[in-house]
Chain A
């Protein structure tokens, strides 16, 4: 009997005090497509980096094709035919496709780099695998889907027989996903082994032969795709029985939304959660809108229509949720409203005020609060204390005579907010850097929601925070609605959107693909919009 292509046994790995893998086992047979699934932070990528020699395990053994290779280097892994396609592209934009592919093992002619040979070899590889890319174009000029093909070509050029792909579909459009599946099946049929890291259950069902489920650093289950169901996989991922509908829905939502093929059972669960959510506040439709977006269009260097003629009226006392696969214009939408990117076209009104051309500060003063999607990058100054972070953006209000900051007032304000929002530790002088993710997010929320505002932009408000903090944040958003504030919730977590929103929109490819009342929306109905299968504008063709 041939040994398994990959055999990881009892792998332990810690980063500082944080355990990433605990006693993890993984067996992958040669010639199969194996899905490695689990929630964000379950330890999937770390386990595969250990396999690829990028990271060394603290304990445990790594065997490839029956050979013990524990602790090998990335170069040794590549030489032995193990290649990993990372989640973030590792490409050199100004170099050509062929140069990127051959870098590190360039074909030579004497002392020289044989560019024509490189182009020819890479073109032949494209032909053979079906990964079509223009080999002499610079990578900078490629689409995201093409760039990913270059990543796979790099690995195959090095003769990989075992291919690890880390969340490869996060950036792909549905037709590109289908093409990728075709390529992966072709590799498998030629005897290659593929490990696919993902948290999208429809992908797992569509492409894999076997499944290993990870939870909190451990491998908790091993399933045959043909004999399992998405619900069973979900149960293994969350680690509890599906008796508690809310938990499952939460877990599934945390997996980053779905792009189509939703299982009816899952949709039913999330609907059940959302159903209990309807509030009885006064009908917002009768009030003048708090935020008016008209034809808002944003151009980025990569995409002249990253956000394309987006229009929306947001009324006091309602939450409008924007769902969609990430990278479809959500970031641009939020930053446009916040004043962080200039509009290419269109207008933004906060109540009566036209803020289309106004700076961030004026928008804040006009009643806008903003929970940004990346709190560590945008939302906080990590080396500033909790107290100083709590006044960021409002610091002018804490300025006394001669431009001096009023330390006493800043501290009093911080103590108030810390108590009200239960930020821990309750010491206003501690740098934000030393707090947990949940408590960092509480600083942002305390700052943005602790002041008087009319419109709240909440972008991925619960990303990367623990369950307790998620509950807290959701309660805060509901309280804001009940107090008559207008909330625009942008989240990749469809369940969160369905649980909180009164109206639900879907962003796809920079456009508002649909906008439905919550009563008319469900995961089943929204799925096709999120994947671009429904809601295409006829005039766009």
Chain B
């Protein structure tokens, strides 16, 4: 029973990581730094709460969340691809914008500085965090499938081949008639949609939007992308590892074995160590961060 509970909780924690990291992999493999996953996720969560509150349906919330996050992604894409703005600065700006805009519209829509009213979620009729609640959430299943599907997309479809080519050597792709800008727009929008879904999961799972509710999860997803060296299945393993550490910390909280802050650090520390090449060298896509 304890093991099952541990597994279920790990998967629930890993779900937003899986989905957002899938978006991160696609964006970075196309050469666009995925610094804005956090902002996309936050936007997605807010729009999901907004949509499901006014419609009463989690599914409408899902559509609204994905749409809102894609809007934020479109902003990043236009700035970096059309206007060749620096990707790092733009990525951070989109995150700041997401924080500011969600707060502004939280006041505008719900007249609150902290949270939305309660909104419907998925699997409400079976209830809560148990086995049934978990397996009845379509987003949990989506999370389990997200990274294998990304692997398939990248390796087995013409779009995936183009994404890989554009992220490594955009000029080469361009000379062969591949529209580099279009591939990158598609990749960034797709990453926005996926990170938005991760936000939808958070809002529907907690049945509300709270200010800053993503709490760095977008950056953990980014950490997983780097720690997993941009290969979808390895990234999935990184997400599971990070989620398992969190679960362990929550389950052992009462024992006070390790301060929670140290567990929080794990994904970030591991990523720094991976970047320094102490455990296997991380080689990013060659054109990552470059405006062609």
Contact = CB atoms under 8 A, between A and B. Distances in A.
- On whether the two chains bind one another, the answer is yes
B282 to A, nearest CB: 14
B175 A86 contact: yes
Interface string B52-83: 00000000000000000000000000000000
B152 to A, nearest CB: 9
A93 B286 contact: yes
B157 A113 contact: yes
A295 to B, nearest CB: 30
A396 B160 CA distance: 52
Contacts of B286: 93
A538 B158 CA distance: 50
Interface stretch (B108-116, B165-173, B206-214, B269-277): B165-173
Bin chain A's interface residue count: 20 to 34
Contacts, number: 59
A54 B157 CA distance: 28
Interface in A132-159: 154
A99 B161 contact: yes
Contacts of A99: 161, 165
Given A112-B157, A115-B156, A103 B173 contact: yes
A95 B162 CA distance: 10
**Dominant secondary structure of chain A at its interface with chain B:** loop
Contacts of A105: 176-177
A104 interface: yes
Query: What's the dominant secondary structure at chain B's contact region?
Result: helix
A95 B175 CA distance: 16
A106 interface: yes
A94 B286 CA distance: 10
B178 interface: yes
Interface in B142-193: 156-158, 160-162, 164-165, 168-169, 171-173, 175-178
Contacts of A78: 176-177
Contacts of B173: 92, 103-104
B169 A113 contact: no
A51 to B, nearest CB: 14
Contacts of A92: 164-165, 168-169, 172-173
Contact of A94 (B156, B168, B177): B168
**B157, B160, B175, B286 interface centre (most CB from chain A within 10 Å):** B175
A74 B177 contact: yes
A78 B178 CA distance: 12
Contacts of A111: 157
Contacts of B169: 90-93
B180 to A, nearest CB: 11
Nearest to B169: A92
A90 B172 CA distance: 4
A433 to B, nearest CB: 20
Nearest to B156: A112
Q: In the complex, which of the residues A54, A86, A100, A103 has the most CB atoms of chain B within 10 Å of its own CB atom? A: A103
Contacts of A115: 156
Contacts of B168: 92-95
A91 B173 CA distance: 8
A429 interface: no
Contact of B176 (A93, A103, A108, A113): A103
A479 interface: no
Given A90-B171, A93-B168, A93-B169, A113 B177 contact: no
Interface in A461-516: none
Nearest to A101: B176
A111 B171 CA distance: 25
Contacts of A112: 156-157
A112 B156 CA distance: 6
A113 B172 contact: no
11 contacts: A54-B175, A74-B175, A75-B177, A92-B164, A92-B173, A95-B168, A99-B165, A104-B176, A104-B177, A105-B177, A113-B156
Interface of A: 54, 74-75, 78, 86, 90-95, 99-100, 103-106, 108, 111-113, 115, 154
Sorted from nearest, which 5 A-B pairs have the closest CB atoms? A104-B176, A90-B172, A106-B158, A75-B177, A92-B169
